[in-house]
């Protein structure tokens, strides 16, 4: 019996020592890696687009936020910003508000011309883009639509929980090509125009005729053309349009005007702007879409530094964020008219409605563009 007790005491004593030794051995095999994070450095951020549409065209300059900084945008002010072309011409931009610079109103890019963005900061640093050529404008070969359902997620006002809703609607597609391009590279913007009536007086009946426009690219997975292996990029989804008024909230349209509920009338009008872009611009937007589309899961790819075509001339190693895009464009407006009872979707091309105000009301009289 004493031998059993001695063996038990020995086992109880040596067991923890063995575990402790193993833990120390494992710890001694690990190399502690402490990454060097540049959390204090701010980088120049450039948001600049020049198209063949009549200006003014905007260049926005700011600094990236520091790690953990919850402040707003820090504009870069006092810079000299100008665009030069291959003939040596220079167009200087005017700082209309802090960090926001505009070209003269009549200035626009020309097809086949090459442009360079130049930025001279107050501290003497000169930043310059790579030369960007304006390609031929895109061509919309076909616009078509299909009945479809889309899943939306929203926060419950009652419980705060995230709920989901299957929404019936119409998916709109387009086929696009670019003259002379073996593989068309383009990006697009889609704006939805909606109109409604609000009764101001019943006797006699008096109405406000109101409208709203909103960009709806954010409900899609991408805003760049698909590489379908040919001269025509086919079946690019450019919009999803709910067919029921109450589902318009998922696209950011309000359901009430003051105390009056909004019933959006039949038009589902799309303003499309398609930009023919360079290969480097396509790579930039493709990488940006990938980052915006990440869901924050373990299996998302590691987000790389977005490509840029802008550098500090005196210090090429400096990190610059953003891109100078030069693009020709085409604009078109379509009225999408679903006829569910006969399983048909009619599409009518209209005069361009891009330049009407983003929202407003006309008292007791239809505006000129009313549908």
How far does Cα 32 stand from its chain's mean position?
A: 39
10-residue averages of pLDDT along the chain (371 residues) = 45 43 45 51 93 95 76 88 95 97 95 97 96 96 97 89 95 96 94 94 89 94 90 96 94 90 91 96 92 53 74 94 97 96 95 96 94 93
* Positive or negative torsion for Cα 122, 126, 130, 131: positive
What pLDDT shows up at residue 203?
83
Q: Give me the phi and psi of 150, to 5 degrees please.
A: -135, 140
Parallel, antiparallel, or unpaired: how do β-strands 126-129 and 310-312 relate? antiparallel
What pLDDT shows up at residue 1?
45
Tell me how far apart the alpha carbons of residues 156 and 362 are, in angstroms, rounded to a whole number.
34
State the DSSP code for 360.
E
What pLDDT shows up at residue 71?
64
What pLDDT shows up at residue 12?
41
Q: Give me the phi and psi of 293, to 5 degrees please.
A: -85, -10
Tell me how far apart the alpha carbons of residues 49 and 58 are, in angstroms, rounded to a whole number.
7
Tell me how far apart the alpha carbons of residues 198 and 212 are, in angstroms, rounded to a whole number.
13
H/E element, 88 = none
Look at residue 64 and give its three-state secondary structure: coil
> Can you name the residues that pair with 94 across neighbouring β-strands?
102
Tell me how far apart the alpha carbons of residues 358 and 291 are, in angstroms, rounded to a whole number.
29
Tokens of 321: 């964020």
Question: Please, how many CA atoms are within 13 Å of residue 77, restricted to the half-sphere of its CB?
Answer: 6
H/E element, 311 = strand 310-312
Tell me how far apart the alpha carbons of residues 79 and 81 are, in angstroms, rounded to a whole number.
6
Q: How many CB atoms lie within 10 A of CB 140?
A: 18
What pLDDT shows up at residue 361?
95
| Cβ proximity of 222 and 289 under 8 Å | yes
What pLDDT shows up at residue 266?
85
Every domain range in the chain assigned CATH 2.60.40: 44-133
Question: Please, how many CA atoms are within 13 Å of residue 78, restricted to the half-sphere of its CB?
Answer: 6
Report the phi/psi class of residue 26: left, alpha or beta, with left for phi > 0 and alpha for psi in -120 to 50. alpha
Cα-based distances in Å from 234 to 138, 173, 217, 225:
13, 8, 18, 9
CATH class of the domain whose range is 44-133: mainly beta
Q: Which residues contact 333 (CB under 8 A, 6 or more apart)?
A: 269, 270, 271, 272, 349, 350, 351, 352, 353, 354
What pLDDT shows up at residue 304?
56
């Amino acid at each position: 019996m004493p031998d059993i007790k001695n063996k038990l005491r020995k086992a109880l004593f040596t067991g923890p020592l063995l575990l402790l030794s193993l833990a120390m051995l494992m710890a001694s095999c690990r190399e502690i890696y402490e990454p060097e994070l540049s959390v204090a450095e701010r980088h120049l951020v450039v948001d600049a687009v020049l198209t063949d549409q009549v200006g003014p065209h905007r260049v926005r300059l700011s600094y990236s936020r520091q790690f953990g900084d919850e402040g707003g945008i820090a504009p870069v002010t006092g810079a000299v910003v100008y665009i030069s072309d291959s003939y040596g011409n220079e167009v200087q931009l005017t700082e209309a508000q802090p960090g926001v610079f505009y070209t003269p109103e009549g200035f626009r890019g020309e097809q086949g011309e090459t442009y360079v963005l130049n930025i001279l900061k107050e501290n003497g640093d000169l930043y310059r883009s790579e030369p960007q050529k304006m390609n031929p404008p895109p061509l919309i070969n076909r616009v078509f639509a299909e009945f479809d359902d889309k899943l939306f997620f929203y926060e419950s006002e009652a419980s705060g929980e995230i709920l989901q809703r299957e929404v019936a609607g119409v998916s709109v597609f387009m086929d696009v090509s670019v003259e002379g391009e073996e593989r068309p590279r383009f990006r697009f913007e889609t704006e939805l125009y909606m109109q409604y009536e609000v009764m101001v007086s019943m006797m006699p009946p008096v109405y406000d005729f109101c409208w709203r426009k909103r960009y709806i690219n954010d409900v899609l997975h991408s805003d760049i053309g698909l590489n379908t292996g040919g001269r025509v990029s086919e079946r690019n989804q450019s919009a999803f349009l709910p067919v029921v008024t109450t589902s318009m909230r998922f696209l950011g349209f309000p359901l009430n005007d003051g105390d009056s509920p909004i019933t959006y009338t039949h038009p589902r009008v799309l303003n499309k702007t398609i930009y023919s872009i360079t290969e480097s611009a396509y790579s930039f937007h493709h990488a940006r879409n990938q980052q915006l589309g990440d869901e924050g899961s373990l299996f998302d790819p590691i987000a790389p530094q977005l490509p840029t075509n802008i550098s500090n001339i005196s210090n090429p190693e400096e990190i610059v964020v953003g891109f100078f895009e030069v693009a020709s464009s085409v604009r078109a407006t379509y009225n999408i008219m679903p006829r569910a009872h006969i399983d048909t979707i009619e599409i009518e091309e209209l005069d361009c409605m891009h330049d009407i105000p983003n929202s407003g009301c006309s008292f007791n009289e239809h505006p000129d563009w009313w549908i």
